[in-house]
Amino acid sequence: MRKYLIGAAAAVSVVVLASNGAMSAGDAVKPPSQNWSFSGFFGTFDRGALQRGFQVYDEVCAGCHSARLLAYRNLTEIGFTEDQAKKIAASKEVTDGPNDEGEMFQRPGILSDRFVRPFPNDEAARAANGGALPPDLSLMVKARIGGANYLHALLTGYKDAPKDTNLPDGMSYNLYFAGNQIAMAPPLAEDGVEYADKTKATVDQMARDVTTFLAWAAEPELEWRKRMGVKVILFLLILTGMLYAVKRKVWSDVH
């Protein structure tokens, strides 16, 4: 069911988000290509990077951005144990109800809960962010031209604005954002998180890790699909060899 939900939401998100970004894309610098572990025919997700990326999302991004297609049980797919996932879920407050008195109430999260949204609705999100609506990140890697390369470049592309650029209040200068003016302040800073595995939390490292996590969130079936592709190709190669051998045998007496 989750794959179908992701596919349907992706179709809408790609059309809306990509078209919005294309309106002034001519002002943005092309993101440099990065070497991702999940790229290529045999690519796989680095579980350490996925867990660090979740930590960056949880501690930095989740204050503004939702990831509504992910549930806490999905964390077991990136290397967390069930007990670890339960502990993470329980640390969140989830609105539930109504109860017997007809009122909503707060409770600790459980594995089946989807990631808690930072705001109750879009209007509250806009009000807290100067009128800008922080997009949901579940499919962000799919929704932006350039995918993971673009997201990594965006997170590391904050610079001081050129002297001839007049930035409106509340805007930041980013080399890779369409129009170069972005409402999101630089989200990452050196040692902005303390990684559980003691990896040095540089801006580039955090950007790379959270991009890897969001690439998995957008395409959690990637590894399965690639494994299945290898099996299909091997099957077709063997089948082709067998068919050729049968053809040689059948026609061996024909001159």
- Per-residue confidence (pLDDT) for residue 254, from 0 to 100: 72
Whether 215 and 242 map to the same domain: the answer is no
Number of domains in the chain: 2
Residues 151 and 245 in one domain: no
Sign of CA dihedral 230, 233, 239, 240: negative
* Claim to verify: residue 212 and residue 241 sit in the same structural domain: no
Residue 9 lies in a domain: yes
- Which structure tokens are listed for 96? 């539930």
Amino acid (one-letter) located at 159: K
- For residues 197 and 234, membership in a common domain is answered with no
The reply to whether 178 and 229 lie within a common domain is: no
Does residue 144 sit in the same domain as residue 213? yes
Put simply, whether the predicted model's pTM sits higher than 0.85 gets the answer: no
Q: pLDDT higher for 169 or 215? A: 215
State yes or no: pLDDT of 221 exceeds 50: yes
155 and 213 both lie in a single domain: yes
Predicted confidence (pLDDT) at residue 253 exceeds the cutoff of 80: no
Helices 147-156, 203-218: inter-axial angle, 10-degree rounding: 150
* Structural domain includes residue 154: yes
Do 254 and 142 lie in one domain? The reply is: no
Q: Note the pLDDT of residue 126.
A: 93
Whether 63 and 142 share a structural domain: yes
Residue 255: the pLDDT is 63
Domain that holds residue 246: 224-255
Residue 123 has pLDDT above 70, yes or no: yes
Q: Return the exposure string of 153-188: e unless at least 16 CB atoms fall within 10 Å of the residue's CB, then b.
A: bbbbbbeeeeeeeeeeeebbbbbbbbebbbebebbb
